[in-house]
C-alpha cells in the first residue's frame, strides 16, 4: 500500500497512529483525537520513521546485526541481498562506515530481520538514486508478497510507486484518507 499526499497533509501522522494503536503507546502524538483504530490481533509491526523511530546499530558488522535478529545466517544474507547490500565487503562493514543511502538500506534490512507481518516505512528510498530505489522497491514488494507482509510506504516518487505496483494507493489530505482507484491511480502514475 502506498500513501501519498502533500507535505503536511498527515502521512507521517497516519503511520504513527497505526503504530501507536498496535503498540499501545500512550502519547498524544500516537493517538487519534477522536475515533478508533481497529487492528488485527496477529499484527507484528515494524516501523521506520526517519529521525524518529529507527533501528539501533552499534559497532557490530551489518551481517552480525541482522543475524542477531534472525538467528539464521542464510536468512540474514538473503535479507541483506534483498535490500541491495549484497557485497561481502558490506556484510563486514559497520553501520557508521556506510554511505547515507547504504544506511537507509541497512535500516530496511534490520526491520525485515524482525520478521514483521506489517511494515510501515516513511519517506521510503528518500536517499537512494532512482535506479537503486527502483531495484530496492522491486525486491521489497516481491518479498512482501511472497512472505505475506503488509507493506505501507510513504513516497512521492511516481517511478517508485510504479515499480512497487501497490494493491492500494491512499491519498491523505488534511484530515482525510481515501483510496485512489482505476483511472485516478493511472493518472497519478502518469499513464
Ligand X SMILES: Nc1ncnc2c1ncn2[C@@H]1O[C@H](COP(=O)(O)OP(=O)(O)OP(=O)(O)O)[C@@H](O)[C@H]1O
Interaction site with ligand X (CB under 6 A): 5, 7-13, 28-29
Other C-beta atoms lying within 10 Å of the C-beta of residue 190: 9
Q: Which of the stretches 5-13, 35-43, 80-88, 97-105 binds Mg ion when contact is defined by CB under 5 A?
A: 5-13
In the complex, what is the shortest distance from the CB of residue 6 to ligand X, in angstroms, rounded to a whole number? 7
Does 155 bind Mg ion (CB under 5 A)? Our answer is no
Number of residues that bind Mg ion (CB under 5 A): 1
Minimum gap (Å) between residue 174 Cβ and ligand X: 8
Quick one: what does residue 92 bind among Mg ion, ligand X, none, with the CB cut-off 5 to 8 Å set by partner type?
none
**Dist CA 191 CA 186 (whole Å):** 5
Using CA atoms, how far apart are residues 121 and 144, in angstroms rounded to an integer?
Answer: 13
- Name the binder of 5 from ligand X, Mg ion, none, CB < 5-8 A by kind: ligand X
In angstroms, give the least distance from the CB of 9 to Mg ion. 9
Sign, CA dihedral 113-116-117-120, equals negative
Look at the block and give the residue holding cell 507493506: 151
46 binds Mg ion (CB under 5 A): no
**Cα–Cα dist 135/83, whole Å:** 8
Taking the mean position of all CA atoms in its chain, how far away is CA 98? 19
- Part of the chain binding Mg ion (CB under 5 A), chosen from 12-20, 40-48, 105-113, 144-152: 12-20
**Which CB sits closer to Mg ion, 35 or 51?**
51
The pairing of beta strand 176-180 with beta strand 169-173: antiparallel
CB of 12 to ligand X, least distance (A): 3
Nearest to 143 by CA among 57, 80, 54: 80
Instruction: Identify what 35 binds: ligand X, Mg ion, none; CB under 5 to 8 Å per kind.
Output: none
Measured distance between the N- and C-terminal CA atoms of the chain, rounded to whole angstroms: 19
Provide the binding-site residues for Mg ion, judged by CB under 5 A: 12
Amino acid at each position: 500500500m502506498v500513501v501519498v499526499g502533500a507535505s503536511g497533509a498527515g502521512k507521517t501522522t497516519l503511520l504513527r497512529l497505526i503504530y501507536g494503536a498496535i503498540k499501545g503507546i500512550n502519547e498524544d502524538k500516537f493517538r487519534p483525537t477522536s475515533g478508533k483504530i481497529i487492528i488485527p490481533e496477529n499484527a507484528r509491526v515494524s516501523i521506520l520513521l526517519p529521525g524518529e523511530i529507527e533501528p539501533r546499530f552499534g559497532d557490530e558488522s551489518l551481517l552480525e546485526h541482522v543475524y542477531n535478529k534472525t538467528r539464521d545466517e542464510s536468512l540474514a544474507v538473503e535479507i541483506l541481498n534483498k535490500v541491495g547490500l549484497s557485497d561481502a565487503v558490506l556484510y563486514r562493514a559497520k553501520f557508521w562506515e556506510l554511505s547515507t543511502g547504504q544506511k537507509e538500506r541497512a535500516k530496511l534490512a534490520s526491520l525485515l530481520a524482525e520478521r514483521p507481518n506489517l511494515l510501515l516505512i516513511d519517506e521510503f528510498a528518500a536517499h537512494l538514486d532512482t535506479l537503486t530505489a527502483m531495484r530496492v522497491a522491486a525486491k521489497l514488494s516481491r518479498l512482501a508478497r511472497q512472505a505475506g507482509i503488509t507493506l505501507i510506504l510513504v513516497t512521492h516518487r511516481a517511478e517508485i510507486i510504479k515499480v512497487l505496483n501497490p494493491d492500494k494507493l491512499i491519498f491523505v489530505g488534511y484530515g482525510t484518507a481515501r483510496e485512489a482507484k482505476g483511472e485516478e491511480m493511472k493518472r497519478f502514475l502518469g499513464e
